[in-house]
Amino acid sequence: MRRTLAGIAGSAALALTLAACGGGSTDTETDADNTPDQNADPAAIEGELTWWDTSDPTNEGPAWEALIERFNEEYPNVTINYESVPFAEAQNNFKTAAEAGSGAPDILRAEVAWVPEFASLGYLYSLEGTELLAEADDFLETPMSSNVFDGETYGVPQVTDTLALMYNKKLFEEAGIAEPPATWDEVEAAAEKLKGVGADGIYINSGGYFLLPFMYGEGGDMVDTESQEIVVNSEENVTGIQAAQDLVKSGAAVKPVANDPYGTMMTLFKEGKVGMIINGPWEVANIDGDPNFGGFENLGVAPVPAGSAQSGAPVGGHNWVIWSGMDDAKAEAAVAFVNFMSSAESQAYIASELGLLPTRQSAYDLPEVQDNERVAAFKSALDAAVARPWIPEGGQFFGPLDEMATKVLIQNADVQKSLDEVAKTYKNEVVKDYSLN
């Protein structure tokens, strides 16, 4: 039987949240009569829902709004209030509203690392027993794993992604580079050839997320969840981050600017002034549409270059989650909406419109995905993706990592000392119960 809002209450934090919201019984399960009818006539389902979409409102928003129109053709009595919310603000805004019991969206596009955190606080509706998990095995295993907390599932994957090496095919041809570099040493050699045709080699964004391939490439990670140990300052990570810093020092990589390094990276790449970047499928439509770049046919995509251990990039993406502060009638409409939007057909539509990677295995069997060059381009990169630590604190890892990335790539700070500072911050502020490496 599906456990509803009252039945999710397995922690004191959630019980307090329910009390603040005027929640009812804290029984572990509700009566069968309160379980939404999963076979109900779509026209009989009614409700008004607010969805916070944290995707790019210009490049991605219109495609999601088009899907809402398709949903309403099938569910005419469910109103979706679509709100585009800046990604950088959504995490804290959701937590603030959910804690207050007012103003939180009914549905949220949550970054994968947010789900365990929100679930641990009691802010998410448990999906156990709902139709959203009827075909749970159809979702790709690693993206789906980010939705599980303490044995229960609180979301389903919307889109998945990872980082890859993107390169300018025309520049590569002019420079005589036959194959994309497979190691960081090969990146440095390719950069030297690119300089010969008037372009810089690679731009590495000075954000912690974009340095994970250097860490994973040496077999490193941020924490070890099994031993509950902080390993961000390990010897493996020092070696990996040192490789990134050395690329900047040698001139193979452009020194990132202090203000808007990501935007600068994309501008230089689209203008053909830099031959390689590390980025994800969310930028494919943007690059394809830029008049200076030469279209998708000029874009090369390959797995991130390997370190001494492997080629490894982080699994990213976003999940559909439902706020816990609603009654069953409204939850029935929310489940129906998420089920429609996460279907294989809807994911195939998004893939065809935006080139984003589906999270359902069955979606890859549909013509819109099978014949999609954008999706196919990232398949090999996705095969090399590494799951991040899915713990409630996972979303807090990147602030300290961002500071480290700025220090080592822009300020040329000592790598070991910079990572030691990250480890201390993790211990003092993020995972206080973990031991230091």
Of the candidates 285, 276, 299, 342, the residue with the CA atom closest to the CA atom of residue 71: 342
pLDDT at site 351:
93
Q: What is the DSSP letter of 102?
A: S
Same domain, 44 and 103: yes
Same domain, 206 and 320: no
pLDDT band at residue 30 under the 50/70/90 scheme: very low
**Domain of residue 53, CATH code:** 3.40.190.10
Q: Name 53's bridge partners.
A: 84
Same domain, 326 and 274: no
Is residue 253 predicted with pLDDT exceeding 90?
Answer: yes
Region 189-213: what's the mean pLDDT?
97
pLDDT band at residue 393 under the 50/70/90 scheme: very high
Residue with tokens 């995707």: 55
Region 277-286: what's the mean pLDDT?
91
Residue with tokens 């202090």: 258
Strand ranges, E, within 280-383: 299-303, 313-322
Domain tally, the chain: 2
For residues 14 and 211, which has the higher predicted lDDT (pLDDT)? 211
Report if pTM > 0.75: yes
pLDDT band at residue 39 under the 50/70/90 scheme: low
Residue 404 lies in a domain: yes
pLDDT at site 167:
98
Residue 375 lies in a domain: no
pLDDT band at residue 23 under the 50/70/90 scheme: very low
Same domain, 78 and 215: no
Range of the domain at 193: 163-312+391-436
For residues 344 and 376, which has the higher predicted lDDT (pLDDT)? 344
Same domain, 325 and 304: no
Same domain, 278 and 400: yes
Q: In degrees rounded to 5, what are phi and psi of residue 47?
A: 165, 165
Is residue 33 predicted with pLDDT exceeding 90?
Answer: no
